[in-house]
Structure 1
Amino acid sequence: MHIATYPAYAPGHIAALLPDDGSGRAFQLLVGTNVVGRGFDTAFRLADPGVSRQHFDIRWDGHTAVLVDLGSSNGTTVNGIRIDTSWQLVHGDQIRVGSTLVYFNVG
């Protein structure tokens, strides 16, 4: 597991995923597990054939966000590094799944 050396975010911060697809969509993370994938049963759907139905999840507790790949077929990278287990996200991280690039933002 990659652990960032940055401090956890202060309570009350909002975390969001922003796909770089020109759609202007944003997905605000809820406290708990947020599953991202191609399936209709996910919290945040990415209509990309290179994305698994349940590709990864982000566990957000209001302070820290941890991305976990859910055994996806094509893998997940954060800032160009393939994630095998989990990764603690920091503001501005770039998540690539299939051909889709998603930014992690905290504000």
Structure 2
Amino acid sequence: MARPAPPASAGSYRPTTPTPAQPTDRRGPWTRADLRVESCASRSRSVAQLIVVPPGGEPVKYSLDARIITVGRTPANHIQITDGAASRKHCMIKVVGDTYTLIDLGSANGTTVNGERVKEHDLTDGDRIMIGKTVLAFKER
């Protein structure tokens, strides 16, 4: 509903409700310039890969470009492996800066890195992760 104009004797008119200039960004209180800087910074960080080799299968490469990547038997995981020795949610890889940390999620059969059973392990280039008979090779770019 339109407001009536104030009387000429009232001086300068200021509306009581602000007029919207542009819709707000639903992603948060950042400006578009902030988002561009963040996306450029994330592109400069090299993204590691996980190469999954199921027993008797072809290797599949996955880019580790999320902050948390889950690995397990069910499709709800970022990386699904069909090995019967894998738990539904077997392990996860947590990314903080340039550090990739593998964390076993209490799996029944465990997770090994370079032949050693681990609960938590900071991954380095060339690490060989085993879940059952499935090999996961960690590669930094």
Name the counterpart of 2:45.
12
| Structure 1: tracts of 5 or more residues without a match | 1-10
Amino acid of the structure 2 residue aligned with 1:92: G
Q: CA deviation at 1:31?
A: 3.1
- Of structures 1 and 2, the one with the larger relative CO (CA 8 A, separation 6+) is 1
Give a deviation string over 1:71-106, Cα, whole Å, max 9, x none.
0010000000101x3100000000000111110001
Runs of 4+ displaced beyond 3 Å: none
- The 3-state SS of whatever aligns with 1:26 is strand
TM-score (norm 2): 0.64
* Matches of 1:30 and 1:64, distance apart in 2: 12
Which of 26-35 and 16-25 deviates more? 16-25
Does residue 1:44 correspond to 2:79, yes or no? yes
Amino acid of the structure 2 residue aligned with 1:41: A
Highest Rg: 1 or 2?
Answer: 2
| Structure 2: tracts of 5 or more residues without a match | 1-43
How many residues end up aligned between the 2 structures?
A: 96
Is the 1:19–1:101 contact (alpha carbons within 8 Å) kept by the matching residues of 2?
yes
* Matches of 1:19 and 1:81, distance apart in 2: 18
Is the 1:31–1:62 contact (alpha carbons within 8 Å) kept by the matching residues of 2?
no
* Matches of 2:63 and 2:125, distance apart in 1: 14
Q: CA RMSD in A?
A: 1.3
Is the 1:39–1:54 contact (alpha carbons within 8 Å) kept by the matching residues of 2?
yes
Does residue 1:92 correspond to 2:126, yes or no? yes
| The structure with more strand, counted as a fraction of residues | 1
Q: Percent identity?
A: 35
Amino acid of the structure 2 residue aligned with 1:42: N
- The 3-state SS of whatever aligns with 2:98 is coil
